[in-house]
């Protein structure tokens, strides 16, 4: 993986990479942050933090592409989850960009995400001076759009475990930038309620628009059991999270459960506002690790774009 650190400048600097056409109008900026088919570490100006960026093979520098933010699990790194998920290979097959950042709170050899009001794996709630991961990712989206790399209507987020919790949080608070999310063994719909930890607190997840959801889980997961329990940042069941997202998305059809292939079934909520859906995809016998089918994930994401 190249070690060169390229700088992702502020939106105003996008004008510096735009070229004047013969008619005198500014052309769209060319995305020059990494060679197609390679992964590059880039700096996100205004944050003091880098991230890994993979541009797919055949990427057209003059045509902004969809992007998937890939968030590592607690104690992990962007490089680690990029290797584990093999999402860069899926990006090359389907033509989307992958961004793999590190979370903002150091934890051993890796990092953990700052989800406001929720304890980290160390058992403490991040204080007011902890790194703001939500602002960091929102800034990265804005910079990548301004650099001409990313289509702002097609920004998606996935993540493993703690990264799945962070993806869920972004679905709650950054729906104005994100078109759909696909947490892996980590779906949430807000913080556990203080009055009843078996339910999500409605006050902590109020997206500005319906959010399409595809969640992957294993029915032998003892870290984030689909029936609830686990550490204080999990508690309520996957089914409770699905039901809350279905309510937020104003789904009207009765939920359905069907086997989609041997050993894998889906719980689906349809008839939702703006064509959104809420799907839990459960693999029998699987535990707490990256179990997502990357092609299935991308097929889901490709159905959605964020409307202005």
pLDDT at residue number 7: 63
**CB-based contacts of 195, cutoff 8 Å, min separation 6:** none
| 133 phi, psi to nearest 5 deg | -70, -30
Inside any domain, residue 53? yes
Distance, in Å, from the CA atom of 250 to the CA atom of 269, rounded to the nearest integer, reads 10
82 burial via Cβ count (<10 Å: 0-12, 13-18, 19+): buried
Task: Give the CB-side neighbour count of residue 270, counting CA atoms within 13 A.
Answer: 5
Inside any domain, residue 180? yes
Whether the predicted pLDDT of 8 surpasses 90: no
CATH number of the domain at 199, please. 3.40.50.1820
Residue 114 and residue 136 in contact, taking contact as beta carbons nearer than 8 Å: no
pLDDT at residue number 102: 96
Residue 304 and residue 178 in contact, taking contact as beta carbons nearer than 8 Å: no
- Rounded to two decimals, the pTM is 0.92
Mean residue pLDDT across the chain: 90
Name the pairing type of β-strands 97-101 and 49-54: antiparallel
Whether the predicted pLDDT of 81 surpasses 50: yes
pLDDT-derived band of residue 233, with 50, 70 and 90 as boundaries?
A: confident
Helix, strand, coil shares of the chain, percent, nearest 5, are 25, 25, 50
- Within the chain, where are the H helices? 14-17, 78-85, 87-94, 133-146, 162-173, 238-248, 294-301
Residues paired with 43 in a beta bridge? 7, 50
Q: What is each CA distance from 36 to 59, 231, 299, in whole angstroms?
A: 6, 41, 22
Inside any domain, residue 120? yes
Inside any domain, residue 17? yes
**CB-based contacts of 193, cutoff 8 Å, min separation 6:** 199, 200, 201, 236
Distance, in Å, from the CA atom of 119 to the CA atom of 113, rounded to the nearest integer, reads 10
Whether the predicted pLDDT of 4 surpasses 80: no
Inside any domain, residue 171? yes
Task: Determine the structural domain holding residue 124 and report its residue range.
Answer: 5-301
Inside any domain, residue 308? no
pLDDT at residue number 197: 87
Of 38-47, 85-94, 149-158, 203-212, the range with the lowest mean pLDDT is: 38-47
Task: Give the CB-side neighbour count of residue 265, counting CA atoms within 13 A.
Answer: 8
Inside any domain, residue 306? no
Q: Into how many domains does the chain fold?
A: 1
Inside any domain, residue 307? no
User: Tens digit of pLDDT for each residue in 139-194?
Assistant: 999 999 999 999 999 999 999 999 999 999 999 999 999 999 999 999 999 999 98
More reliable by pLDDT, 8 or 56: 56
Average pLDDT on 9-23 reads 41
Of 24-33, 39-48, 247-256, the range with the lowest mean pLDDT is: 24-33
Spatial strand order in the sheet of 256-261: 5-8, 39-44, 49-54, 97-101, 65-71, 150-160, 180-184, 213-218, 278-283, 264-269, 256-261
Whether the predicted pLDDT of 268 surpasses 70: yes
**CB-based contacts of 274, cutoff 8 Å, min separation 6:** 209, 210, 307
User: Tens digit of pLDDT for each residue in 101-121?
Assistant: 999 999 989 999 999 888 777
Q: Which of 239, 295, 244, 248 is CA-nearest to residue 276? A: 248
| CA end-to-end distance (rounded Å), the chain | 36
């Amino acid at each position: 993986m190249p070690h060169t650190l390229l700088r992702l400048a502020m939106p105003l600097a996008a004008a510096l990479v735009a070229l004047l056409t013969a008619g005198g109008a500014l052309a769209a900026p060319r995305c020059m942050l990494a060679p197609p088919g390679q992964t590059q570490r880039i700096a996100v100006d205004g944050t003091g933090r880098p991230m890994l960026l993979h541009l797919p093979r055949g990427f057209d520098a003059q045509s902004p592409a969809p992007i998937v933010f890939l968030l590592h699990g607690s104690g992990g790194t962007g490089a680690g989850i990029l290797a584990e998920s093999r999402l860069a290979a899926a990006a090359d097959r389907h033509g989307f960009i992958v961004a793999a950042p590190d979370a903002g709170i150091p934890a051993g050899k890796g990092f953990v995400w700052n989800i406001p009001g929720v304890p980290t794996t160390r058992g403490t709630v991040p204080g007011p001076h902890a790194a703001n991961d939500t602002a960091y990712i929102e800034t990265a989206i804005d910079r990548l759009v301004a650099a001409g790399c990313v289509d702002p209507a097609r920004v998606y987020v996935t993540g493993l475990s703690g990264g799945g919790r962070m993806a869920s949080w972004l679905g709650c608070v950054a729906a104005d930038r994100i078109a759909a999310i696909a947490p892996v063994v980590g779906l949430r719909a807000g913080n556990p309620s203080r009055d009843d930890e078996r339910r999500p607190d409605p006050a902590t997840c109020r997206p500005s628009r319906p959010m399409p959801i595809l969640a992957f889980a294993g029915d032998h997961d003892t870290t984030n059991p689909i029936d609830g329990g686990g550490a204080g940042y999990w508690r309520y069941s996957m089914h409770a999270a699905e039901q809350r997202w279905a309510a937020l998305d104003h789904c009207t059809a009765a939920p359905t459960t069907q086997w989609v292939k041997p050993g894998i079934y889906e719980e689906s909520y349809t008839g939702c506002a703006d064509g959104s859906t809420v799907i839990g995809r459960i693999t029998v016998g699987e535990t707490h690790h990256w179990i997502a089918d990357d092609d299935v994930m991308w097929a889901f994401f490709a159905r959605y774009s964020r409307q202005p």
